[in-house]
Structure 1
Amino acid sequence: MASATLRAKQAPLKDSYRKDPSSAVVTLKSSGTLDSSSITCKLSTGAAVKEAQSKVAGLHPYAGGDDPSITGELCSGDMLLEALVACAGVTLKAVATALSIPIKSGTVRAEGDLDFKGTMGIDRDAPVGFTEIRLGFELQLEDGVELEEEKVEKLGKLTERYCVVLQTIAKKPSLSR
């Protein structure tokens, strides 16, 4: 029976999280690269995911899921961070293009902290979902180009303003069921 199998898989994890609450906290990460050829962001993924015909959502290993490097399954938290990286990268490239900022290359990174005590129902006071998300950019401009600080600030502010995924996370939308 599937429910018994899942319970058996999750039981040692739950015990571990009860004994050592800090063992339930994990930081998920995603990154992508930018280049000068187009307004795109190439996501970095594991080998199993690259070979898959489609992405498959599954439980995170901290919730009893299988090793994603073997199954190619991603937890929805991984996918959320990927969506954030992709959207922020594409938005930054579009804004940079509009502002005539020649980006040669770059990296977009997102990290998010999850506490699986909440997700696994072990601690009702523990949050379910990300408690913190960090988004960062490392950019290299075309050779010989220097940028005034105010233009860098404008690039950051407009990227934040127009990134759909970032704004969706920041300004919790109303949901209907």
Structure 2
Amino acid sequence: MQTTTMTKTVSNGVNTEALIGARGAFEQMPEAAAFTFRSTCEWMEGTHSSNAINGYFGLGQDHERKQTYRIESDHPEVFAAADRAPTPPEIVLAALASCLSGGVAAVAQHRGIQLNQMRAMVEGDMDVRGILGMDPDVRNGFSAIRVRFEIDADATEDEIAALVAQSQKRSAVFDILTNPTNVHVTVA
């Protein structure tokens, strides 16, 4: 009796071979793994600002992106603003969803799981009395964040749950939100 093994090709758009190769290189030269990302925010007017994201430091040198990316922020009309862009907290929620989704795609690619469709819905609860200085016992940021995935993949429910769990374990933005980070603010 002859047994035939079929290899399934998966394409989620993630070059996992390059990522695995980078891990090997960073094991040999850990100092190359130290990256510094940058954003420059210009105030426009009122609560409207525009962030320019381009250069970063990594692999022992400065790099420029192919283009400068811009992220604008503002506040909604209920806060007496012009509502020209999402609020900064909404941008944080978008960053979390993007980071987790990218991680799911990478892990799925590495594990040979084809993604057909994925959506992450993120909600964050905030009591704005903290931001407005009305109650010192109310924090300024989110009191809770919820992420709910809808994933259609050629995988079992357990395999999909494992993708999300591994993405969460390796997500930079999840780590930033769930662990204290030293933040230093200065005036030039």
TM bucket, shorter chain:
0.5 to 0.7
1:92/1:37 CA distance change after superposition, 3 Å: closer
Runs of 5+ unmatched residues, structure 1: 1-35, 40-52
**Structure 2: stretches of 5+ with no match in the other structure:** 1-10, 15-68
* Identity %, equivalent residues: 21
Quickly say closer, same or farther: Cα 1:104–1:146, change in 2 above 3 A: same
Cα deviation digits, residues 4-41 of structure 1 (max 9, x gap): xxxxxxxxxxxxxxxxxxxxxxxxxxxxxxxx6534xx
- Aligned equivalent of 2:156, options 131, 142, 147: 147
- Whether contact under 8 Å (1:57, 1:76) holds in the other structure is yes
Q: Distance in 1 between matches of 2:12 and 2:104?
A: 14
Q: Indicate whether 1:172 and 2:172 are aligned.
A: no
1:38 to 3, 13, 19: 13
The alignment covers a number of residue pairs equal to 121
Q: CA deviation at 1:60?
A: 4.2
Aligned counterpart, 2:148:
136
The yes-or-no answer on 1:78 pairing with 2:94 is: no
2: CA distance, partners of 1:166 / 1:100: 24
Q: Which amino acid aligns with 2:110?
A: A
Say which of 77, 80, 93 aligns to 2:105: 93
Cα drift, residue 162 of structure 1? 1.0
Contact 2:12 2:108 in 1 (8 A): no
| SS of structure 1 residue aligned to 2:130 | helix
Distance 1:107 1:95 in 2: 16
**What's the offset of the Cα at 1:98?**
0.6
Alpha-carbon contact 1:83-1:165 (below 8 Å) kept: yes
Larger Rg: 2
* Superimposed CA distance per residue, residues 67-123 of structure 1 (whole angstroms, 9 cap, x where no aligned partner): x2xx2x221011101111111111110011111111100111111011111101111
Take 1:115 and 1:62, find their aligned partners in 2: how far apart are those partners? 14
Indicate the RMSD between aligned Cα atoms, in angstroms: 2.1
- Name the counterpart of 2:132: 120
Q: 1:128 to 1:62 in 2, by over 3 A?
A: farther
User: Which structure is higher in RCO with an 8 Å CA cutoff and minimum separation 6?
Assistant: 1
The reply to whether residue 160 of structure 1 matches residue 168 of structure 2 is yes
Q: Give the direction of change, closer, same or farther, for the CA distance of 1:54–1:153 in structure 2 (3 Å limit).
A: closer
Secondary structure at the residue paired with 2:119?
strand
More helix by share: 1
